Each structure stands twice: as structure tokens, then as C-alpha cells.
A and B are shown apart, each in its own frame.
Chain A
Amino acid sequence: MTHQTTNTGGGRAAPSFPPNWLKKTVSLAFTVAITLLGLLFVTFMIGRVMPIDPVLAVIGERASQAQYDQVYLELGLDKPLIVQFGIYVGDVLQGDFGTSIRTGKPVAEDIARVFPATLELATLGTLLGVVLGVPLGVLAAVYRGSWIDQISRLIGLVGYSMPIFWLGMMGLLIFYGILGWVAGPGRLGVFYEGLVPTRTGLLLVDAIIAGDWDVFKDALSHIILPACLLGYFSLAYISRMTRSFMLEQLNSEYVITARVKGLSEWHVVWRHAFRNIAIQLITVIALAYANLLEGSVLTEIIFAWPGIGSYITTSLLSNDMASVLGGTVVIGSIFVCLNILSDLLYRFFDPRAKS
């Protein structure tokens, strides 16, 4: 697991002046800050080793030497690397990722525009993964070795071996091209574009707020295939983890005690064993969600979904480095935050982790 292990320092037993929770909070904040700073440093260095001249990218090939020198100074390229890095961090902290060469707008503005589309897709995908994956994992553990366990194993195996972009294309070919059950690539049909006002940026939610059910139906028929695709990959992961957590619980002594007491199987599984894995599951779901944000890159390309993944790759192909790095920083930060959040939830809810 890519678990964030936070080092709380050798916790002394005696109650000292800075209380324990304060020390933990400070140390956690320090960890987050260092990790995010490291993330920025990596993207900064990537931006520096790039073989494209950042000045030429702004002014174009035919500018005069005087213009070149002016922009060179404006971008701060004459300063030492460490100072440039400081300026970069300061800019990012203020939400300034530079200007996209491709769209001519600030990168932050671009990302704010495309991000809701990715969020909508990843959320729906995770939801599908949880709703189907958790029960499947539990059943596979309870009926270990039965056909349902075999199915869950098969789903996992295929999920870990299938190129996501290829499965997406096959889905389009079958469900759109041959059967015609769902709408094709894109987020909305041409006829429905601009009908509902943008409030949240999540089309399904916006359509509900506006009460426009035609738009809702069209948006749903566009999102359902990519969401199922992402949902499948998170289902593979979530059910596999649920199964292994559940098996661990079902083999423990308190479950035997509960059975000896004569509790029903349903009671033993759901009220005793399942409640003990709920916290571990939160961690897994947070990770699955983070993975989907990343997995959406290839999926968005296939389905022409105007999210952050499409944004990064289109920018990449037109050498628009500011956008690529901005997108990388945003996804990376969310990734880090979700990791830490799941870690926090785990400590907060599980009394065993507090000792």
C-alpha cells in the first residue's frame, strides 16, 4: 500500500508541556508540508531539464534579441536555481501556475474549468466500485472457495491485466457502435449543450438543480460507460482488499465465540466482522478514489471527456509545459491529501491505532 507513514517521534510517556495532540498535529503538518514541497521540487526540476527553451515558447521563433532578453529577465531565468524555485513555490501558493501557451489563459483558471468533469467521473466510478465491490468481497470471504469467490478472483485478475484504454475502446465498439445502448464520446450531445446554467460544474447535479430531465438523461447516457469502466477497476481493487480483510476477521476468536453463542450467520458477518473492517475499508476507498483520478487520464482520452486528464495530455502534445506541470501538481496534491486524510480517519476512528 502507498500508505503515508507519519513519524510521530519517539513519544515520551510523561505528560509534557506541549500536549501530545499538539505535537502530533505539528508533526503531521510538517510531513504534509515537506511532501508537497518535494512534489513542487520534482515538477520544478522537470520543467528545468526540458529541452524546450521557455523563452522561445512564450515569444515565438521570430522575436528580436532585445525582446528575448526582456522576457528572459521577466521569467526570472537569470536568477540562481534556488531563488527561481522559491519564486515558483510562492507563485503556486498564490494559485498562480503560469499561463497556458495553448489556451492563452492562466493555467489555474483552465484547471478550475476542466476539473469538475474529472471529479464527476471519478466520483461516480468510485461509487460503483464501492457499492458492488464491498458486498462482493464480503461474500467471497464468507463463501471462500465457492463460485462467487472464483468470480471475484477472476474480476480481480482481469482488472489487473487489462489495458484500461483498450477496454474503453471495446466498450465503445460494443455498447455504442453495435448495440447503441449508450451515447458516444463527449460529455453531452450537441443539442443539449449550454441548456443548463453552470453552478457546480458537475453536469448531473447542474441538470437536477435546473430541473431539466432531458439534459440529465443525455448526460447520464454519456457518463455511464466511462464511469462503469473506472468503476470496474476500482471494483477489482476494493473487492480484493475487502476479501482479505474479512478473511482475517472471520478467522479470529471473537467470531468463533459469536458463533458458539448461537448468533445467526448474518449477525456474525455483518454486525461483528464487518464492523471491524469498516475503518480499513475507508482507507482503501480513499486510495481507490485517488487511483481513479489518475486512471481517468487514459479513459478521458478514449471518451473525449473534457477533464484534467485530457487537459494534461493535449497540453503535453503541444509542448505547453506550464499546463502539464500545473495539472501534475494539482493531481499530486489531491493524491497526497487523500492519503493523509485516510491515515487521519484511521487514527481517529480506530482506538487500536491511538496507543
Chain B
Amino acid sequence: MTPQSNASAKPGLKAWLLSDTPQSRGQARAAAWYQGWLRLTSNKLTSLGLIVLTLLVLAALFAPMLATDNPFAQDLGARLKPPGWEGHYFGTDSLGRDIYSRLLYGARISIYIVLLVALVAPLLGLIIGTTAGYFGGWVDTVLMRVTDIFLAFPRLILALAFVAALGAGIENAVLAISLTAWPPYARIARAETLTIRNSDFIHAIRLQGAGPVRIITRHIWPLCISSLVIRVTLDMAGIILTAAGLGFLGLGAQPPSPEWGAMISEGRKYILDYWWVATIPGLAIFAISLAFNLIGDGLRDVLDPKESGK
């Protein structure tokens, strides 16, 4: 796509991206992305969020290399040692496991949960919302009534009840969080669908003989994606906190899994004497959700200037 060679890429690429007269559609699109990226990173707090998130992803990817110990290896002789004790950066927990190594492997679980929920819940909302918006009439009434009912439920309590029914575990926690998280996405997708369902291009496609499934999945879905993405980013912190809450209650990942919420729950018994066992995983959760919130705010400022004007 780019005519420049990699060696001279730095100044050339920049000029190419910032060019006022793009030569091709690809260049125009790349330029739009690049300018969005510049605006996003011009906000210091958002950049901080991006850095923290990148570190987390790197930590999760390279956990086996970065870890100093096996996260599951118990050493009862070295129980509840403070941070810095004999090469344990963050100390050890009640079974003598290295907290630093467990944190690294826990990052994998967090990313796994967030990615799964961020895929499942918007997809569910997208299907329900676009179906309701496209067909209208009684389909719309029924689906939106169902959405309202789920919105009326307190989310954590509903997730608790689902996990209770399905059994504890990461996959079930993901399912429970997704089942409670989809209604807002359905509303957004429906609103988007209503604004485009009577436009000329939809009529044209229908005249060409496209069925409702094709129209919805190929022509309406792509237009709903961008508003869903902003909303999902803003919701990521909430997903992490709910997952940690379920883990803390013993309903998410099961021991000996190094899930952060479960680690806090383990450390709870020792909180008054051995503060680090519960404090350090909590700081990790806080850092990650803060990063997601900062990125979400920045993203909204870039993509939705109306809101940011407030």
C-alpha cells in the first residue's frame, strides 16, 4: 500500500499519512485513523491508560518468561513472607506461592474473561437489537420488553443467580456476565437500525432480492459496530470489576487458579497481619480498570465530540 520503503519510513510515512490530498481510498482511510490516533494520544491520561494496558498484555503474553517461580508451586516453609523476601518481589501467599508470578498468570485470566465477554455480550445485543429494529411491530415490542426486564435486574445479583444455577467456573462467569451485559448494546443497535432501515440503499438491496438475514448481517451490522465499540470500551472496567467480584465470592475461577479476585479472597483472612496478600492483586485490578476507563474516556472524546463538549 505504501510506496515508501521501510528504511525511510519515519518522515515519509508521516507526511504520507498527514497529506491533505490523499491519492487513494486506502491512504484516506489510513490518514483518518492516524489523525484519530494522534488526537487520542495527545491526551496524556489516555496515553497513560494505553501504556498500562500494553504492559498488561505483554505481561500476559510473556508470563512464562517473566515469572520467577511456578505460580502453582507451594512451599509451606515460605508461607506469608513479605515483599522482597528472598527474591519474591511481592512476597508469598498462605501456601508459600510467589505472588508476583501468580499476578502475571492472573493477567491471562483477566484478559481471557474481558475478551470473551466483549465478544459475546455485544454480539447478543447486536442480534436482538437489529432484529427488533429491522422488523418492528410486535417483534420489536416483545424483544424490547425482554430487554427492559433484563435492564430492570440488578446486574451483580442476576449474575450471582445465573452462576448459582450453572455452577461456578470461569466459563460460567463469562456467560453470566454476558447475559447481564447485553441489554444496553441491544438498545444502541436498535436505535442505529431505526435510523438506517428506511434509507435508500436498504431499499435498493431489497429490490435486488436480498433477504432479511442478508440485509441485517451484511448491511446493517457493519454500521452498528462503531457505536458498539465505544460502549464496549467504556464497559470493560465494569466487566473486570464484576468478574473480580464473582471470583472474590468464590463463584468465578476456582482455586488454585491465580485469578485476581480469588487471590484477594484468599488474602482476606490474613488482611490484618499480612496486608500484601490481598492488597497487591487489588492494586492490579484497580490499575487495569483505571486504564480501561481512561482509554474509554479518550476514545469517546475522539469519536463522539458532541459528548466531550460538555
Contacts and interface: CB of A to CB of B under 8 A. Distances in A.
Contacts of A47: 165
Interface residues of A, number: 54
Interface in B137-178: 145-146, 148-158, 160-162, 164-167
A49 B166 contact: yes
B114 interface: no
A38 interface: yes
Contacts of A4: 148, 152
A161 B293 contact: yes
A173 B282 CA distance: 14
Interface in A10-47: 34-35, 38-39, 42-43, 46-47
B271 interface: yes
Contacts of B149: 34-35, 38-39, 42
B261 A163 contact: yes
Given A38-B145, A50-B165, A163-B244, A170 B153 contact: no
Given A47-B165, A169-B271, A328 B282 contact: no
B154 A332 contact: yes
Nearest to B152: A336
B302 interface: no
Interface string B261-296: 100100010011001001100100110011011100
Contact of B237 (A160, A165, A244, A248): A160
A2 B150 CA distance: 10
Interface of A is mostly: helix
Interface string A269-302: 0000000000000000000001101110110011
Interface residues of B, number: 46
Given A169-B278, A247-B310, A290-B154, A38 B146 contact: yes
A325 B244 CA distance: 22
A51 B157 contact: no
A39 B264 contact: no
Nearest to B249: A313
Given A160-B293, A169-B278, A42 B157 contact: no
A312 interface: yes
Among A4, A42, A331, max chain B CB count under 10 A is at A42
Given A163-B286, A165-B248, A332-B154, A312 B160 contact: yes
Interface of B: 145-146, 148-158, 160-162, 164-167, 237-238, 241, 244-245, 248-251, 261, 264, 268, 271-272, 275, 278-279, 282, 285-286, 289-290, 292-294, 310
Given A163-B286, A298-B249, A312-B160, 18 more contacts: A35-B148, A47-B165, A163-B244, A163-B261, A165-B248, A166-B282, A166-B285, A169-B271, A247-B310, A290-B154, A291-B154, A294-B156, A301-B248, A312-B157, A321-B164, A324-B164, A331-B157, A332-B158
Interface of A: 2, 4-5, 34-35, 38-39, 42-43, 46-47, 49-51, 157-158, 160-166, 169-170, 172-173, 177, 244, 247-248, 290-291, 293-295, 297-298, 301-302, 312-313, 316-317, 321, 324-325, 327-328, 331-332, 335-336, 339
